[in-house]
Structure 1
Amino acid sequence: MITERDKVLLAKKGISEDKLNTQLACFAKGFPYLRLAAAASTEKGILAPSHEEVDKYLEAWEAYTNNTAHRIVKFVPASGAASRMFKNMFAFVDADYTTPTTDFEKSFFNNIHEAAFYGDLDSACQRIYGKNIDELLSANQYKEVVKAMLDKEGLNYGALPKGLLKFHKYANGSRTPLEEHLVEGALYAREKDGTVNIHFTVSTEHRALFEALVNKVVPAYEKEFGVKYNVSFSEQKPSTDTVAANPDNTPFRTKDGDLLFRPGGHGALIENLNDIDADVVFIKNIDNVVPDRLKADTVRYKKLLAGVLVSLQQQVFAYLRKLDSGKYTMDELREMLQFVQKKLFTKNPETKMLEDTELAIYLRKKLNRPMRVCGMVRNVGEPGGGPFLAYNADGTISLQILESSQIDMNDAEKKAMFEKGTHFNPVDLVCAVKDYQGNAFNLPQYVDPQTGFISHKSKDGKELKALELPGLWNGAMSDWSTVFVEVPLSTFNPVKTVNDLYREQHQ
C-alpha cells in the first residue's frame, strides 16, 4: 500500500510508482540466469594481437587523437568508501588482544614505514598522543596507531573514499589515486590541443574534498605534462536508487515507517555515463593505479584498446553509410554479416533465413549501437567478472562480462565454464558512444533489465532484500557491440586491502 508520505518521497527521488512496482515485482519473480554458449578465450572471442597488429592499432589511436574534432573523456567511478580496505584493521581495534596477532596485522605493522601515508600518520600520532609511531609501537600501543589512521581525529581513512588516500611515494611527496588518474589521462587521453577531460563519479559527502584536492594539485600537473585539465564530477542520481524488501517481498520500512531506498550499485552509473559528452570514453576503477615507473604498460595497452575501438568504428561507420544510402549488393551484405560475426563476435543462427531487406535491417541494428573494447587479463584467482559468449533475448550470441550471480552454479556444465575460465575482467574499457552522424546514443536503452540480482542485507537488526541494478560493465552494457582484447596482468593492480599498498607494484 503506497501512502501519501511515500508519494512525496518518490517524487523527491524522481522515481515513479510504476518503477517502484516493477522493482518490487523483481523480488517476487527474481532474475533468470543467463544462458551460456561458452567461456571466452583467446581461441574463442578474445583477441591477442600480434606485434605488427599492436603497432597498427597504436598508430590508429595516434591518428584519432590528432583530429581536433574528437572529444575524449576518462571516466573514473570513485564514490566507494575505503572502509572495506581497512576491514582487518577495524577488527584489530575491536579485538580482545592488544598486539598484532594475525598474519595480516603483523604484515601491516612490519611494513608501516613503507606506507605512502606514513608521514601524515606519524604527524597525527604526535598531535593526538604526543608520541610518534615508533614510540607508540615500542610501548605496545598498536591500537593507538590504527585509530590515528582510521578515526576522524586522525587521518579519517576509515571513512574517506579510496581516491583521496595516499597510495604511492615519490621523491617530492605522495600521490593519491585521483592524482595517478590525472597523470594517466595526460599520457593516453589527451586531445590534440592538450586538453585532458577527466570525470569522477563521487558520493555527495566527499565531493567537496575531491574538488579541493583537484584545485590544489592540478596546476602542478598541468605544468609537468604540458596539458590543460578539464575535471568534472557527478553523483549517483537518487532516481537510480532501488527499494528494499522484506523477506516476504513486501516493501521494507524504516522505524519511522518510510520506504527504504538503497543505492542501486555501480550499474546506476550508466545514467552518469549517458550525461558525458564524448566520442570516446576510457573507463577504469579508481584503485587500479601504479607509480610512474610501472605506467608504461598501462599507457601502451590503453592506447591499444582505443586503437582497436576506433579501427572497428571506422569500418562500422562505412557500412552504416552504405546501408543508409540504400545502394548495396548482396555480396556487400554478406561482407557486413561476416564483419558482425567475426569482428564484433555477434552470431545469429537465423540470418540464413533472412531476405535481403530483412538482413539489412538486422545488420543496421547490430552495427548502429554503442561499442566497447574491454581488456581481459589471464585468470590468476583475482575476484571479478568473467568473459563469456552468452545468449541474448533476441536469440543472438555475443560477448558479455558476467558475474557469478548471473550463472546457474547448480548446473555442473555452467559451473565448470565459470571455474575453468582462462580470463577475467579487470574493468578496463574504452567505449564509443556516438553514432556515425555524431549523435549520442541513449545508453539506458541498451541495458538488459533482466540482468540485475538480489542480495541479502540487514538494517536495524532486520533482514532485508536489496535490488542491485544490472552492473555497469555487465547488464548495463549488454546490448553494446563488445570486443575483448587480452592485456597483461601488469595492467591490473587493484588495492583491495591496506596491505596491498605494500606490494612491489605500489612501492
Structure 2
Amino acid sequence: MLTKDQKQQIEHQGMPLDKVELQIKNFETGFPFLDIQKAAQIGDGIRVLEDQALRKAVDEYVEKSGDKIIVKFVPASGAASRMFKNLFAFLEEDSPALEKDDFVNKFITEIESFAFYEDLDKSLKSKGSSIKASLQSGRYADIIKHLLTDEGLGYGNLPKGLLKFHNYASGSRTPVEEHFVEGAQYGVGKENMARLHFTVSPEHQEKFEEKIEVVKPVMENEYGVKFEISFSQQKKSTDTIAVDLDNRPFIEDDGSILFRPAGHGALLENLNDIDADLVFIKNIDNVVPDRLKSTTTTYKKAIGGILLHAQEETFKALKDLDLAVDEVSVDRAAKVFTDVLGGKLPATFSEKTLAEKASFLRRKLNRPIRVCGMVENTGEPGGGPFWVKEADGTLSLQIAETAQLDLDEPGQKKIFQSSTHFNPTDLVCGIRDYKGNAFDLMEFRDPKTGFITQKSKSGKDLKAQELPGLWNGSMADWNSIFVEVPLITFNPVKTINDLLRDVHQ
C-alpha cells in the first residue's frame, strides 16, 4: 500500500498513480512468457533477396522515396563508460600488470590503430609527456587515465556517439558523422532533405549540438543535400518504479522513491512523436567506414523498397474495402495480408461471413508496417524472429528476447534453439495509415511483454521493470516483414577493442 507521501512523490514524477500501481502489480504477478509456435526461418517467415529481387526492391525505393518524408531514428543515449569497463578495472588495480591482462595489452600494443590516437598524443604532450614516452617508461596507466578522464580526452564520460571511431585520409569521424554519411546515401527524401533524429541523454545533448553545428555545413557541402537534425530525450514519465524484494517501493537514503529508466521500450513515445512517412531505426554504434558502406546502403534501400511496395498494396486493399465489401475486395485484402505482408490467417477464417472477413482484414491491414533486417545468428545477443499465435488465431511474426521465453519448458526451449537468425536493430517503419494519418503507436504494443530484472543500489537488492522493448513488445501488433541481410551490415562497438577489428579500420 502506497503512503500519502509516496503518492505525492509519484505525482511529482509526472506519472499517473494508477500507472505506478499497475507497475507494482506487475512486480507481484510477473509478466507472462511469450508462447512462440516456431522459429521464423528462411522460406517460412524470413525472405531472402536474390539478385533480381534485390535490384527490384532497390529500384522501387529509388523511384518512390523522393516525395516521402524520411527520418533516420538513432537511439544515441548510450554512455561510452561500458566500452571502457576493462580499462577502468585496470586503473583500479593496485599494481596493474600489462602482461596479465590480454584486453589491456591488446589496447596498448595496438594503440596507434585507434582514430583518437593523435588527439590523445597531443593532449599528453600538452602535459609534458607523449604516448611514445609513456610506452617507453611503462606508464600505461597514464595513457589510459588520460584517455578516460577529464585530465585528457574525457572519453569515459562522453556518449558513445561522440567518440572518434574511424580514420580517413581527410581526418577522423565519430558515429554521429557516420550517420550523416548514411543519411546522405539512403535517407534523402522530400525537398532533398535527410532528416536525422537522435535520442540522447539530457547531460549529453549540448555536446551533440556543438558537434552537429560544426559537422552539418561540412556534410551539406560535401554531399549536396540538406540535413534536418532533431533531438529528443527519454521522457521522465516513462520511468518505472523500483521495488525491494518484497515488492514495496525502493526507498533511497534520502527517503525518496527510486524511479529508473525503463529501457529502450520507453523510446516508443519518442518514435510516436516523429512526423514521417518512413523511419529507419539503427543504433548509434552500428556504423562502418566508407569502404564497407555500400552493402548497408543497398540493403537499407531494399528494405525501404519492400516497405513502400507493401504499403502501396495494403493501402489499395483498404480503400477497395471502403468502396465495397464484396468477394473481389475481400479476396484481394486476404491476398495482400498473406502474400504481401506474409501473415497467416486462422483456420476459422473461411467460416466467417463476408462482412466478418472484411472487418477482420481491415483490422489486420490497418496497422503500422515494419520491415526488419535479420542476420544469421553467430552467437551475438539480440532478439530472435518467431511465429506467435495471437488471440484471434492468427500467426504473426514477432521479435522476442530471451527474457520473454520460458526456456525451462522443453518445447519452448527446442523452438528457441532452432532459431537461425536475430534482429540487429535494423528496421524501417511505416507509421501512417492509408488515409495519411499518423498511427498512435501506443495502441499497437503489448503491455504484457515487459521485463523484470534484479539489480542493486547502495548495497541493497532491488527489482527493476522495463517497458516492452522498442522492436519487441512495443511493436507486437504491427505487420512485420523479415528479410535476411548480410552479416557485414551488423558491426556494433561494445568494447573499445572492437574498433581494432578490420571492419572498423
Check whether TM > 0.5: yes
Match of 2:264 in 1: 266
For 2:417 and 2:160, locate their aligned partners in 1 and report how far apart those are by CA, in whole Å. Answer: 30
Match of 1:444 in 2: 442
For 2:130 and 2:452, locate their aligned partners in 1 and report how far apart those are by CA, in whole Å. Answer: 47
The answer to whether residue 118 in structure 2 is matched with residue 119 in structure 1 is yes
Q: Is the 2:69–2:190 Cα contact (8 Å) retained in structure 1?
A: no
Superposed counterparts of 1:215-294, under 5 Å? 215-294=213-292
The answer to whether residue 30 in structure 2 is matched with residue 33 in structure 1 is no
Match of 2:349 in 1: 351
Deviations 1:65-111 (CA, angstroms, capped at 9, x unpaired): 232xx211110000011111111111111124323122211111111
For 1:350 and 1:134, locate their aligned partners in 2 and report how far apart those are by CA, in whole Å. Answer: 74
Match of 2:159 in 1: 161
Alignment partner of 1:97: what SS? coil
The answer to whether residue 6 in structure 2 is matched with residue 15 in structure 1 is no
Deviations 1:336-392 (CA, angstroms, capped at 9, x unpaired): 223313332322233122111111011000100100000001111111111111123
Q: Given residue 177 of structure 1, which amino acid in structure 2 is its aligned partner?
A: P
Among candidates 338, 341, 347, match of residue 338 of structure 2:
341
Match of 1:94 in 2: 92
Superposed counterparts of 1:286-435, under 5 Å? 286-325=284-323, 327-347=324-344, 348-435=346-433
Q: Is the 1:98–1:141 Cα contact (8 Å) retained in structure 2?
A: no
Q: What is the CA distance between 1:11 and its match in structure 2?
A: 2.9
For 1:391 and 1:80, locate their aligned partners in 2 and report how far apart those are by CA, in whole Å. Answer: 34
Alignment partner of 1:223: what SS? helix
Q: Given residue 111 of structure 2, which amino acid in structure 1 is its aligned partner?
A: I
For 2:471 and 2:230, locate their aligned partners in 1 and report how far apart those are by CA, in whole Å. Answer: 21
TM-score, normalised relative to structure 1:
0.97
Q: Given residue 92 of structure 1, which amino acid in structure 2 is its aligned partner?
A: F
Alignment partner of 1:190: what SS? coil
Is the deviation greater in 347-356 or in 456-465?
A: 347-356
Q: Given residue 343 of structure 1, which amino acid in structure 2 is its aligned partner?
A: V
Q: Is the 1:99–1:142 Cα contact (8 Å) retained in structure 2?
A: no
Is the deviation greater in 142-151 or in 94-103?
A: 94-103
The answer to whether residue 488 in structure 2 is matched with residue 479 in structure 1 is no
Alignment partner of 2:205: what SS? helix
Among candidates 189, 192, 196, match of residue 198 of structure 1:
196
For 1:392 and 1:83, locate their aligned partners in 2 and report how far apart those are by CA, in whole Å. Answer: 40
Match of 1:149 in 2: 147
Q: Is the 1:149–1:157 Cα contact (8 Å) retained in structure 2?
A: yes
Deviations 1:393-422 (CA, angstroms, capped at 9, x unpaired): 443221111110011110122222223311
Gaps of 5+ in 1: none
* Identity score, percent: 51
TM-score, normalised relative to structure 2:
0.97
Gaps of 5+ in 2: none
Q: Given residue 366 of structure 1, which amino acid in structure 2 is its aligned partner?
A: K
Q: What is the CA distance between 1:44 and its match in structure 2?
A: 1.1
Alignment partner of 1:278: what SS? coil
Match of 1:106 in 2: 105
Q: Is the 1:34–1:391 Cα contact (8 Å) retained in structure 2?
A: no
Q: Given residue 278 of structure 2, which amino acid in structure 1 is its aligned partner?
A: V
Match of 2:48 in 1: 48
For 2:311 and 2:53, locate their aligned partners in 1 and report how far apart those are by CA, in whole Å. Answer: 16
Match of 1:24 in 2: 24
For 2:125 and 2:417, locate their aligned partners in 1 and report how far apart those are by CA, in whole Å. Answer: 49
Q: What is the CA distance between 1:493 and its match in structure 2?
A: 0.7
Superposed counterparts of 1:454-493, under 5 Å? 454-493=452-491
Is the deviation greater in 153-162 or in 108-117?
A: 153-162
Q: What is the CA distance between 1:226 and its match in structure 2?
A: 0.2
Deviations 1:242-278 (CA, angstroms, capped at 9, x unpaired): 0001101111111121111000000000000000100
Q: What is the CA distance between 1:4 and its match in structure 2?
A: 4.4
Cα distance change, pair 371–413 in 1 and its aligned pair in 2 (3 A): same
Q: Give aligned pairs, total.
A: 503
Match of 1:2 in 2: 2
Alignment partner of 1:46: what SS? strand
Cα distance change, pair 220–504 in 1 and its aligned pair in 2 (3 A): same
Match of 1:213 in 2: 211
Q: Is the 1:195–1:230 Cα contact (8 Å) retained in structure 2?
A: yes
Match of 2:58 in 1: 58
For 1:477 and 1:287, locate their aligned partners in 2 and report how far apart those are by CA, in whole Å. Answer: 22
Alignment partner of 2:156: what SS? coil
For 2:279 and 2:190, locate their aligned partners in 1 and report how far apart those are by CA, in whole Å. Answer: 16
Q: Is the 1:252–1:464 Cα contact (8 Å) retained in structure 2?
A: yes
Alignment partner of 1:200: what SS? strand
For 1:83 and 1:354, locate their aligned partners in 2 and report how far apart those are by CA, in whole Å. Answer: 57
Is the deviation greater in 388-397 or in 151-160?
A: 388-397
Among candidates 161, 184, 190, match of residue 186 of structure 1:
184
Is the deviation greater in 268-277 or in 11-20?
A: 11-20
For 2:392 and 2:257, locate their aligned partners in 1 and report how far apart those are by CA, in whole Å. Answer: 36
Is the deviation greater in 151-160 or in 296-305?
A: 151-160
Q: Given residue 150 of structure 1, which amino acid in structure 2 is its aligned partner?
A: L
Q: Given residue 11 of structure 1, which amino acid in structure 2 is its aligned partner?
A: E
For 2:347 and 2:156, locate their aligned partners in 1 and report how far apart those are by CA, in whole Å. Answer: 53
